[in-house]
Structure 1
């Protein structure tokens, strides 16, 4: 009896492995095909964009422990940003940070939340709060300077920002010339 239970358990386990393997691989292959088709189409079809976003999220839902799950979610959020689905992008970036806090792009997700509040939603107070949180949580990030500059220039008209950069560059040129 014990022998038949062990054989049955092993058989069930092997069956599960073979059932899960191709399904995962098929999903990855399908996601790659969908991504290539979307990239090749100009202008992008909004229905296909929505399908790809859902497919990326579906993979992450089905395989949450897979190393590709946070990457696919990140791609989904990027598509959301590109196609003016700001709230959905925010939700996905937050989910990545909550579910994959040690993933290499988790800091970028917080920065991009600030970017969305600043540029898409136009909530400058919330953008400042998120950028400040980003600087506090990730002081060594490559995006730290970008977050600091975003805070510095929040709400300023583009022409004013350009004048400030031109003045700063002129001052730097003067210092370089004086040092020669």
Structure 2
């Protein structure tokens, strides 16, 4: 019951709820009427509020991150828990904390191995190692794990390409893609 009250208060505080609203939600939590659906609705409203702003709302993002994590802690068996954790990882990445994002992806992989979108967690880890952390050895290992576990999935196939491209700098990749496009255009013009 304490975690429901805490989660309710966290969402209301993050959404900017006033004292009266917080008191109403606490009463609702005390009567055991706070459900995952109610909390998901509050999270959705919070997302709408944050994403309607033209500029990045760091404070709002941090609050949403906390709410996502609190939801997964309060309702670990709910089908939205892994989805909210993945969204939390995305926020961590946008907040320039790639290791925290990797840690959350690892949590989803560990706690929800049969979740239909778990492959994206493996792939996102590899991208973070490559792009954000510049740890190409770890990126290669992570891509290899995607290939091993999901060889027929789109991410498994894409991971093979990503490994091949790890050896190139960004400038070299741009040059390679430009040349490939020129060759494709020349072949198309020759038809």
Alpha-carbon separation, structure 1, partners of 2:81 and 2:51: 21
Shift, 1:176, TM fit: 5.5
* Equivalent residues in 2 for 1:72-83, closer than 5 Å: 72-83=84-95
- Give yes or no for the alignment of 1:134 onto 2:150: no
Q: Deviations over 1:82-126 (max 9, x none)?
A: 221211111111111111111111000000000000011110110
Which structure exhibits the higher relative contact order, with contacts defined as CA atoms closer than 8 Å and separated by 6 or more residues? 2
- Give yes or no for the alignment of 1:89 onto 2:101: yes
- Give yes or no for the alignment of 1:152 onto 2:164: yes
Task: For structure 2, list consecutive stretches of 5 or more residues without a partner in the other structure.
Answer: 1-29
Larger radius of gyration: 1
Aligned-pair RMSD on alpha carbons?
2.0
Q: Normalised by the size of structure 2, how large is the TM-score? A: 0.76
Q: 2:41 aligns with which of 12, 22, 29?
A: 29
Aligned equivalent of 1:14 = none
Q: How many residues align?
A: 162
Larger deviation: 131-140 or 74-83?
Answer: 74-83
* Equivalent residues in 2 for 1:156-171, closer than 5 Å: 156-171=168-183
